[in-house]
Amino acid sequence: MEGEQIDAIVRWLAVFGEGDNAFVDNPTLLLDGQVLAKVYNTLDGGNDPININMLKQISNLDDWVSILLNMRQISGKVMNAIKPNDLSIDPTALAKKKDQGELLKLLKCFIFYSLKSTNKKISIQNIRSLDKSIQSVIQSIIQEFTAKTETEAPSSPVPQTPPSSPAKPSAPADDGSAEKIAALDKEIQELTARKSQVDKEIEQAERQLQIQAAPGKSEELLNDAKRRHQTAKDKLEKLRKKLEETEETLNASRGELDELRKQKQKLLNPDQVQTPERSNTELKQQLEKLQREIIADLSNDTKTAALIERNPPKTNDDYINLLNIRALETEYSALTKELQSMQTQEKLHEAELTALSQNLNNQNKKAALTLKKRIQQLNAEIDQSPIGEAKRMSMKYLRVIKKLECEVENLAANCSDMEVEELTKQLQIMAARKATEGDLLARKQAFMQATAEQCDVRLQRLKLNVDLMMHSARITRWKNCFQTPQQQQSQK
């Protein structure tokens, strides 16, 4: 029965066309949250959508921490949308164990939410497009939800329809199944309409009571989670340092042990010695020297020195026990496991911190939205009252006064600027006029000077002409004086 219901709901999800529909054969693929978030946003109609970019990208279903974060976000949205209900989803079991029962609960919540969502017509059309057998399974799930809804609201005056037995679900084999689904949808709408007013009043009262308490509590939880997260980080850092120190000690001990083993191997296999002159006696002496150096290093500790005196080491195992290599290896392994455990706890703390931060942001948004609506409601009530009318008039007059003051200031500033500009223009005009007059005076002086020079030249030319005429007449007279009478007559 459980597998049949999961298969029916999965095929209903496939009709939405979100994804490659590989989840039809393997419903566990829905745990990455991508398909469920897209279907939720389609049904929600943009009222309170899931931010798909905030979901973790999951490439491997073994990453149960990322699956847990995605499932918490999606299940929280769906469960808040179908309140009140007696369903409870365990996201940890769903993410960690891939529990099919918890997966069925989540898918049922999606079916229930689709009947209360904004785009429920899309959901009903998708149900009608399925086969009759799948429709009957989904109808039995819906009837189970409606029966629980009617049981939770016994004070409703609407006559309750008896819940159908889950062992004998109604399976319409003719075209009347669509009519039954439509009638069931109408009945759900009527129940929702009758309960909506009461739910709104209850939610409004709860929000007003929790507006001041919830943010403070969430902040305390968030601060506590941050403190625990920081403590875990400090402890993890200490463990890492201790692990590094242990690893260094272990590496040093391993190096000494390797050196002892090499010396032993050379003693046991003298044929492999590279230098032919090296004898077993020399190798033994070198081994004894190395053992003495180890004992000298360990003798710095009084307890170790006393232990060496009581039981001097003879074999390699004695030296291994003396260097405490096996204990160091055990401690190293234990520290490694503890480090892995601390890393897992750190991931859980980070996931919890992210969830608390998101919860705090959601509560702050809801509180801010409630306060904003309340302020708008109070403003609307005040505006409708006589006090509001007087307030509007006074605000209007104040705005007019401020506007006039601004205009007066602008005019005063403009007038001062205009006076300065006018004086500047007049000065520029006077300067241009003076420059023009000076230019004209200079031209006049130049013209007068040129005219005087021309007069002098003309006078000189006139004098020269007169002198020339006088000299010509004198020369003529002289010529006449020296000519004969005959020459004078011939000239005549």
The reported pLDDT for the residue numbered 311 is 64
Same domain for 341 and 394, yes or no, is no
- The arithmetic mean of pLDDT across residues 8-14, rounded, is 90
Q: Is 131 helix (H, G, I), strand (E, B) or coil?
A: coil
Q: Is there a domain that residue 485 lies in? A: no
Q: Is there a domain that residue 120 lies in? A: yes
Same domain for 15 and 146, yes or no, is yes
CB 110 within 8 A of CB 40: yes
Same domain for 154 and 283, yes or no, is no
Identify the domain containing residue 401 by its residue range. Answer: 386-480
Cβ-proximal residues to 96 (8 Å cutoff; 6+ apart), any chain: 64, 68
Same domain for 398 and 356, yes or no, is no
Distance of CA 51 to the CA centre of its chain: 11
For residues 114, 117, 121 and 122, what is the CA-based torsion angle, rounded to 10 degrees? -60
- The arithmetic mean of pLDDT across residues 338-347, rounded, is 79
Q: How far apart are CA 432 and CA 429, in angstroms?
A: 5
- Domain stop point among 357, 379, 401: 379
pLDDT beyond 50 at 106: yes
Least confident interval from 177-191, 327-341, 462-476: 177-191
Same domain for 165 and 22, yes or no, is yes
Q: How far apart are CA 380 and CA 375, in angstroms?
A: 8
Q: What share of the chain is helix, strand, coil (3-state, %, to 5)?
A: 80, 0, 20
The reported pLDDT for the residue numbered 167 is 36
pLDDT beyond 80 at 139: yes
Residue 286: count other Cβ atoms within 10 Å of its Cβ.
Answer: 14
Cβ-proximal residues to 307 (8 Å cutoff; 6+ apart), any chain: 322
- The CATH number for 25's domain is 1.10.418.10
Same domain for 75 and 162, yes or no, is yes
The tens digit of pLDDT for each residue in 447-468 reads 888 888 888 888 888 889 898 9
User: Quick one: pLDDT band at residue 170, thresholds 50, 70, 90?
Assistant: very low
The tens digit of pLDDT for each residue in 355-404 reads 887 888 888 888 888 888 888 877 777 767 767 677 777 788 888 888 88
Same domain for 436 and 371, yes or no, is no
Q: How far apart are CA 420 and CA 176, in angstroms?
A: 92
Give, as one character, the DSSP assignment of residue 385.
S
Same domain for 53 and 119, yes or no, is yes
How many structural domains compose the chain? 3
Same domain for 403 and 367, yes or no, is no
- The arithmetic mean of pLDDT across residues 24-50, rounded, is 87
User: Quick one: pLDDT band at residue 168, thresholds 50, 70, 90?
Assistant: very low
Give, as one character, the DSSP assignment of residue 109.
H
Same domain for 447 and 393, yes or no, is yes
Residue that wins the pLDDT comparison between 389 and 314: 389
pLDDT beyond 50 at 159: no
Q: Is there a domain that residue 278 lies in? A: yes
What is the b/e burial string over 341-354, where b = at least 16 CB atoms within 10 angstroms of the residue's CB? ebeeeeeebebbbb
Residue that wins the pLDDT comparison between 108 and 198: 108
Q: Is there a domain that residue 57 lies in? A: yes
- Domain stop point among 105, 140, 173: 173
Same domain for 337 and 440, yes or no, is no
- Domain stop point among 123, 141, 173: 173
Dig out the tokens for 84 from the structure: 């009140």
User: Quick one: pLDDT band at residue 171, thresholds 50, 70, 90?
Assistant: very low
Q: How far apart are CA 125 and CA 143, in angstroms?
A: 18
Q: Is there a domain that residue 203 lies in? A: no
What is the b/e burial string over 44-57, where b = at least 16 CB atoms within 10 angstroms of the residue's CB? beeeeebeeeebbe
The reported pLDDT for the residue numbered 302 is 61
Least confident interval from 148-157, 195-204, 239-248, 421-430: 148-157
Q: Is there a domain that residue 221 lies in? A: no
Q: pTM, whole model, 2 decimals?
A: 0.35
Give, as one character, the DSSP assignment of residue 321.
H
Rounded to 5°, the CA angle 37-193-117 comes to 10
Most confidently modeled range among 158-167, 184-193, 288-297, 443-452: 443-452
| φ/ψ (deg, to 5) at 129 | -80, -5
Same domain for 29 and 88, yes or no, is yes
* Burial class, 428, CB count within 10 angstroms (exposed 0-12 / middle 13-18 / buried 19+): exposed
CB 77 within 8 A of CB 50: yes
Q: Is there a domain that residue 488 lies in? A: no
The reported pLDDT for the residue numbered 350 is 81
User: Quick one: pLDDT band at residue 314, thresholds 50, 70, 90?
Assistant: low
Q: Is there a domain that residue 209 lies in? A: no
Closest Cα partner for 308 from 329, 254, 300, 249? Answer: 300
pLDDT above 90 covers a percentage of the chain that reads 0
Q: How far apart are CA 128 and CA 444, in angstroms?
A: 110
CB 125 within 8 A of CB 175: no
The reported pLDDT for the residue numbered 169 is 39
Most confidently modeled range among 52-56, 255-259, 311-315, 347-351: 52-56
What is the b/e burial string over 267-279, where b = at least 16 CB atoms within 10 angstroms of the residue's CB? eeeeeeeeeeeee
Amino acid at 170: S
